[in-house]
Structure 1
Amino acid sequence: MRAFRLTAYDAPPSMVQMDVPAPKPDELRLQVAACGLNFADLLMMRGTYQERVQPPYTPGMEFAGTVDAVGASVTGFRKGDRVAAFAGQGGLAEYALCKAESCVKMPDAMPFTDAAAFLVAYGTSHLALAHRAHLRPGETLVVLGAAGGVGLTAVEIGARMGARVIAVARGANKLAVAQQAGAEICLDSGADPFDLRAELKALGGAHVIYDAIGEPLATPAMRALHPEGRFLTIGFAGGKPPAFPANILLVKNLSVIGLYWGGYLRFAPQIMAESISTLFDWYENGHLRPHISTVLPLEDALDGLQMLRERRSTGKIVITI
């Protein structure tokens, strides 16, 4: 089979020919149809992600395909099932192994490209907004990095949950995508000058901040929160985690809430399963539509990773195999 293999951190992966692997007793082997790219893939390839995978390995943490072989102890799946998987690695190949517990059966009408763009982005935003921040109808949600892979799903889910959504992104094209996803107000972080705190204060402040960027937007956004506001820290695509003044958190009774979606697979898998079930229901009822800006074949996966690195995409980039 063909696979992209990373042999050292910070070195570009290259296409190789390798044997099709055999599944362990608790694993499924998928014939991969599509692999969604995530910012976390870039961090993992640099060795800076919270879960380190030692090279050599095949990148691609989320993917979708058809069950090709079933491990001896696996129940609930059979050859031919269409599944989406969050495996942490392996998706940029023609075949991939994954723990059965990290796989879910797809809705019948869901294309593989949608499934490969679905679990991480929608799962992150739904658990963050519904389970961690307890977003309520009528509250104001501010999404930083609102046109990115997870940010755009936060806009879509926030609007679905009845919030007033303010999208913050760079440039008119990205803001137009966020508006189509349900943002009521759009703010261009590329404007000069741009005072995010003043802009949000003029709009009445915020109840929840969803931050996948970090600084320089995080601190001014936090300062625009209402008393008892909630700040969701999702990631640091801007490269610098925020360092909030604790006295402001104290005086305004603010909460800073972390969300690492993948961790729920280990310590609270039932919460993750219930969230995914809700999201699939919303998808089947037409309430969610993944925004996939770019679809590339496996041989062009490096181009897709570079687009992600340079933030030239909106929504998700998907690699088809």
Structure 2
Amino acid sequence: MTEIFQVQKDSKINNDQSYEYLGNDISCNLGSTNVVNLMDSPDFGKSVRTMLRALTYVTNNSNIDVVPSVKNGNDMYHSVGLGAMNLHGYLAKNKIYYGSPEALEFTDIYFMLLNYWTLVESNNISIETGEKFYEFEKSKYADGTYFDMYLNEPDFSFKHKKVEELFKGIFIPKRTDWEELKAKVMEYGIYNGFRLAVAPTGSISYVNESTASIHPITQRIEERTEGKRGKVYYPAPYLSDETIPYYESAYDIDQRKIIDTYATAQKHVDQGLSMTLFMRSELPEGMYEWKVGSEYPTKKTTRDLNILRNYAWKKGIKSVYYIRTFTDDGDEVGANYCENCSI
């Protein structure tokens, strides 16, 4: 999974197969918020803090003795990865187009709140236990520079009235709140070396009747083949005559909207996000300005992918998880099967 970005130290083994020193590897303790449910919570902050506690319980009880380096890393950093799913479902439900300025502002605030409240609760756990993650004193949390991205900006204010209405009644931290949190973190530390990550959530999103991760849907009614059950059809959540226009397929929108959405969230995430790009082998005409006037204005090429990858890099995206291609015959091809989709 490309949402997990953690510093690792390899274990060194002597010829007699004993450890000279024990390194640390990744323990993947992931969970996802359902955007619709969390926004309906009577207490957004308490809900996030509870989820951080639950994931911390998992990491504290993950005694993976059979892989000593993983157990060691888990014990050192108490790593978790709280993420999100059902972003497109929430936007469509509230008649907001994916990738629009309103959608980006909503995403920005939502992930800022996940960051704030997981920091608050991780700090609370450190205060209760007297423990910090390994080498906390060498981190940007310890010297306070981590908080610069919030303290060097003007005090928060909404840009769009509709987004302000969506967050009505939900606490939004001001500069003074970040300053207070910074002081507590510098004094007492935080328990979890890593807190946030966004996984693909392909399967669990179906169970939760939600859209996967924070990327757009691929079909308004998705067809899947599941073992002995055969074909199963999953309509997008809250699908109705009113929400249909807001459910544009990922294959039919400018991929920069997906990149912008993930880049907006990435600012607040200490690990990564599993971002997937979705492109047709024949692109919608006029979607990308660099294709206008070219010999093949709709044919997808590796140059197109390279331009989008560079755009993602400049926006601060840490990795591209998959690039999926929808071919002329209706087949969806993953990057592992299409050499032209991989750069």
TM-score norm. by structure 2 comes to 0.24
Task: Return the structure number with greater strand share.
Answer: 1
Higher normalized helix content (fraction of residues): 2
Larger radius of gyration: 2
Q: Per chain length, whose mean CA-contact separation is higher, i.e. which structure has more relative contact order (CA < 8 Å, sep 6+)?
A: 2
